[in-house]
């Protein structure tokens, strides 16, 4: 009996080793659960803030300043049709593929002015369903520039819109659009950068003396 026990113990030990080996072998064949990658944001290169210059618009009854890294872009075609007024243009930011679209109208009556202002409110209101909120500010300057600024927070196509008028004969509307190939929630730094320039635009905006 005593001589048999070593063989029994040896056999049990072999079975344990074999079981551990099979367990390890089966675990190697299992696919590991994917580890989610950390959220990454594209790197944005901002031009250096510098001086401003008067926008070159000799045929338009207004003037304002734009930064050195932006330029005026005039396109006579509007949705494949002739623009209603030659003073329709963009302020183009090539670094971000961003544009501030401007549309100008002559005001011939109080009815015209009411319609244009009402249209500006309608355009800003179209973003209400998607926006978190709309911050509306009144603009009134001693040089006869009046208007409103609509700053739209949330996933809106245009985060900033505005209109300016002298309440007599001039009306101009603007809206900011960015067509960069990045997610909407990554555009906030670009919006903030351009909004600084738009503040300078509002401060420097003036009607030309006829």
pLDDT, tens only, 43-90: 678 889 889 999 988 889 999 999 999 999 986 555 556 777 889 999
Q: How far apart are CA 42 and CA 178, in angstroms?
A: 15
Q: What is the pTM of this model?
A: 0.75
Strand partners, 45: none
Residue 98 lies in a domain: yes
Interatomic CA distance for residues 189 and 140, integer angstroms: 28
DSSP characters over 52-89:
EEE---TTSSEE-EEETT-EEE--SEETTEE-SSTT-E
The answer to whether position 17 is within a domain reads no
Residue 14 lies in a domain: no
And the tokens for 17? 């080793």
Structure tokens at 206: 């003036």
CB-neighbour burial class of residue 183 (10 A; exposed 0-12, middle 13-18, buried 19+):
exposed
Domain-located, residue 64? yes
Task: Report residue 207 as tokens.
Answer: 């009607």
Q: Which domain holds residue 147?
A: 57-207
Task: Give the domain CATH number at 196.
Answer: 3.40.1000
Q: How many domains does the chain divide into?
A: 1
Q: Is residue 10 part of a domain?
A: no
24 in a structural domain:
no
- Please report whether residue 1 resides in a domain: no
Q: Which of 29-38, 104-113, 114-123 has the lowest mean pLDDT?
A: 29-38
Average pLDDT over residues 135-155: 92
Q: Is 159 inside any structural domain?
A: yes
Q: What is the pLDDT of residues 174-197, one digit of tens each?
A: 999 988 665 556 788 899 999 999
Burial 23-50 (b: 16+ CB within 10 A, else e): eeeeeeeeeeeeeeeeeeeeeeeeeeee
């Amino acid at each position: 009996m005593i001589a048999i026990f070593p063989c029994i113990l040896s056999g049990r030990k072999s079975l344990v080793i074999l079981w551990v080996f099979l367990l390890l072998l089966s675990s190697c064949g299992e696919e590991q659960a994917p580890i989610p990658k950390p959220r990454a944001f594209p790197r944005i290169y901002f031009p250096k803030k510098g001086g401003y210059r008067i926008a070159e618009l000799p045929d338009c009854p207004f003037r304002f300043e734009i930064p050195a890294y932006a330029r005026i872009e005039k396109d006579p075609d509007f949705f494949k049709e002739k623009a209603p007024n030659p003073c329709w243009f963009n302020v183009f930011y090539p670094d971000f593929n961003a544009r501030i679209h401007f549309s100008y109208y002559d005001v011939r009556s109080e009815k015209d002015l009411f319609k244009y202002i009402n249209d500006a409110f309608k355009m800003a209101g179209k973003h209400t369903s998607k926006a978190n909120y709309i911050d509306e500010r009144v603009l009134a300057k001693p040089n006869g520039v009046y208007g409103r600024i609509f700053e739209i927070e949330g996933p809106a196509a245009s985060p900033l819109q505005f209109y300016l008028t002298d309440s007599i004969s001039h009306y101009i509307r603007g809206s900011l659009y960015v067509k960069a190939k990045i997610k909407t929630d990554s555009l906030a730094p670009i919006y903030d950068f351009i909004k600084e320039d738009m503040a300078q635009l509002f401060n420097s905006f003036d009607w030309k003396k006829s």
